[in-house]
Amino acid sequence: MFPQVYEEVDGPCQALEKKLIRDNTENGLENSVISNLALSITNGDLGERLARDKFAQLPSRLGCLAVYYNIPDDLV
């Protein structure tokens, strides 16, 4: 529950997307049109796909939480 409250979204996959965007924003894309657009349209689909790729055996919501707390370097 923490990620969705912290990221101010409805689910863990949306929280994962928002964290990935925020991490990339901190790496120099802060005012880019792409990062602003991505923040406005996060719906959890990308987070679900990432979680499925990394943790195929877990339900997508749990996989999103696992990736959220342990984002691999190749995703950032």
On whether the CB atoms of residues 42 and 50 are closer than 8 A, the answer is no
Residue 43 pLDDT: 78
Domain range enclosing 67: 2-75
3 confidence band (pLDDT: 50, 70, 90): confident
pLDDT digit string, tens, across residues 17-70: 888 877 766 656 555 666 566 666 667 888 888 889 989 999 999 999 999 998
Under 8 Å between Cβ of 1 and 7 = no
- HSE of 5 in the Cβ direction (CA atoms, 13 Å)? 2
Domains of the chain: total: 1
Q: What 3-state DSSP class applies to 4?
A: helix
Angle subtended at Cα 62 by Cα 74 and Cα 26, rounded to the nearest 5 degrees: 40
Counting Cα atoms < 13 Å in the Cβ hemisphere of 49 gives: 6
pLDDT of residue 6: 87
**Predicted pLDDT at 17:** 86
According to the model, what pLDDT value does residue 25 have? 67
